Amino acid sequence: MSQPLLEVEGVVRRLGGRRVLDGVRLNLARGQCCVLSGDNGSGKTTLLRILSGLEAADAGMLRFQGVQTRLPGYPDDWRLRVVYVHQHPYLFHSSVAGNIAYGLKARGEPRETWRQKVEEAIDWAGVRDVVAVPPQKLSGGEKQRVAMARAKVLSPQLLLLDEPTANLDADGRRRTMELLARLFAEGVSVLIACHDRELIELPGVQRLHLENGKLL
Amino acid sequence: MGLLEPTREAFALLLQGDPELLQIIWLSLWLSLAAIALISPPSIALGLLLAKRRFPGQRAMVVLVQALLSFPTVVVGLVIYLLLSRRGPLGSFELLFSPSAIVIGYMVIAFPILVVFTVSAVQGADPRVYETARSLGASRIRAGLTILWEVRFGITAAVVNAFGRVVSEVGCAIMVGGNIAGLTRNMPTAIALETSKGDFAQGIALGMVLMALALGINILMALLQGEGGLK
């Protein structure tokens, strides 16, 4: 059996005396889509933030592509392979294309290659018709799709999406679901925290449920 | 003595482009711009650091910089005077009563304004800016620069405010510059000198220039804040 992409063991996160995560353990295979459900405050976002290195855990171990780290340590080069998208994504005060290009530029990608990739990502996300609109003026669904394109263009080995369909109108939700389906089809490894019943019940996804800081 | 005649003379000086007056205005602007250009990068970097990083003594540093804001400029001038005077530790550089001494004084005065405004702007930034940048693979420095870009209106307001403060500064400039005609005499020190001599025309003319500058700076800040509000 091939080595899992990500192994998580005994992750503990305490906040104000409460164990938000209480010994979480999970394995994620390469190319797998995993949906993490749970009530508000169950620790879904906290777990995703820990996996992306944005938040420190109090204890636990991560093994990513066979490389192990003891939390709260987080190797800096993992940030080039694991990308997290907020529930309400922040788009920088630049253009849509500038936002999508941000990570490529940060990685020192040559101009001629990132321009091509950005153009492809714009089409992938279906945001060609809003490229001239200031990002702050986009709808919630459009922002979500730009943020997904901005993450996907980096070809991450693990994509962490926090409630990608929450607070979207019907059209925004439908188009985001289409993008997610395309991600799954392309074999991108994705871990999604969500409440969305339709997303949780998608065929072929691994389902996990967090309750009182424990993974069921 | 009426105000009408000196005011009329002041307008005449301005309209005729009196060379002495223009030289004083030019020197004031040049010294202020040089000081702001030199002190802005390190002050903004320190402001970013104080706002984003936690380290021992960080809180004390913020309090110290805030305290510097309320230091009388004449005391700043006195300290710089003592440092630059012939018997001071920096006396060998022979900077006292030179334009460089005024630039140093201006830098010291502008420093806390720039730092405190930057801390405030960065702390007011959306926390997702830094997180998004880091998650997209940006280094800490690049993510920090991204924050500064996102709060650029606040940073620009800091720079404009600091410029406004130093261009109208008199206490420190007189102490370390010596108010030497053609060398270190700037607008505020010239106003103080000419008024004490009873020559109000030049003082009024320079006062009008300073007020126009203050008005221009405030209009610019209002425009920047309006622009920032569109976010």
B129 touches chain A (CB under 8 A): yes
Look at A134 and A2; give whichever has higher pLDDT: A134
Give the span between the Cα atoms of A89 and B80, in whole angstroms.
49
Which DSSP category does A130 fall into? Answer: G
**CB nearest to B137's CB, from A54, A79, A86:** A79
> What is the set of domains in chain A, with CATH numbers?
31-54+78-207 (3.40.50.300)
Helix (H) or strand (E) holding A62: strand A59-64
Coil vs helix vs strand at B219: helix
Q: State mean pLDDT over B198-207.
A: 90
B136 touches chain A (CB under 8 A): yes
Above 60 in pLDDT, residue A1?
no
**How many Cβ atoms sit within 10 Å of the Cβ of residue B230?**
10
User: Could you tell me how far CA B99 lies from the centroid of its own chain?
Assistant: 15
Mean pLDDT of chain B, nearest integer = 91
Give the span between the Cα atoms of B192 and B195, in whole angstroms.
5
Q: State mean pLDDT over A28-49.
A: 92
| Sequence-distant (≥ 6) Cβ neighbours of residue B224 within 8 angstroms | B153, B156, B157, B160
Under the banding of pLDDT at 50, 70 and 90, the label for residue A216 is: confident
Residue located via tokens 């004390």: B60
Residue B223 exposed, middle or buried by CB count within 10 Å (0-12, 13-18, 19+): exposed
Total number of domains in chain B? 1
pLDDT at A3: 79
**CB nearest to A154's CB, from B126, B136, B146:** B136
Tokens, residue B186: 């700037």
Q: Which of A119-123, A135-139, A203-207, B137-141 has the lowest mean pLDDT?
A: A203-207
The nearest alpha carbon in chain A to B128 belongs to A90
Tens-digit pLDDT profile for residues A167-177: 888 898 999 99
Give the span between the Cα atoms of A156 and A154, in whole angstroms.
5
Instruction: Find the DSSP H helices in A85-169.
Output: 96-106, 111-125, 140-152
- B7 lies in a domain? no
User: Nearest CA of chain A to the CA of B186: how many Å?
Assistant: 40
A106·B128 Cβ contact <8 A: no
Give the residue numbers spanning the domain of B92.
24-185
Above 70 in pLDDT, residue B227?
no
Above 50 in pLDDT, residue B231?
no
pLDDT at B1: 57
- B153 lies in a domain? yes
- B6 lies in a domain? no
Mean pLDDT of chain A, nearest integer = 92
Residue located via tokens 């992409």: A5
- B230 lies in a domain? no
**CB nearest to A92's CB, from B131, B134, B146:** B146
**How many Cβ atoms sit within 10 Å of the Cβ of residue A139?**
14
- B50 lies in a domain? yes
A79·B149 Cβ contact <8 A: no
**CATH code of residue B38:** 1.10.3720.10
pLDDT at A25: 93
B132 touches chain A (CB under 8 A): yes
Q: State mean pLDDT over B164-192.
A: 91
pLDDT at B229: 46
User: Nearest CA of chain B to the CA of A98: how many Å?
Assistant: 12
Q: State mean pLDDT over B72-89.
A: 93
Under the banding of pLDDT at 50, 70 and 90, the label for residue B218 is: confident
pLDDT at A197: 85
B150·A92 Cβ contact <8 A: yes
pLDDT at A167: 80
Give the span between the Cα atoms of B230 and B227, in whole angstroms.
5
Angle between helices B19-52 and B200-228 (to 10 degrees): 30
Residue located via tokens 């402001």: B47
Q: What string of H, E and C letters represents the secondary structure of B51-111?
A: HHCCCCCHHHHHHHHHHHHCCCHHHHHHHHHHHHCCCCCCHHHCCCCCHHHHHHHHHHHHH
Q: State mean pLDDT over B97-121.
A: 96
Q: State mean pLDDT over A81-104.
A: 96
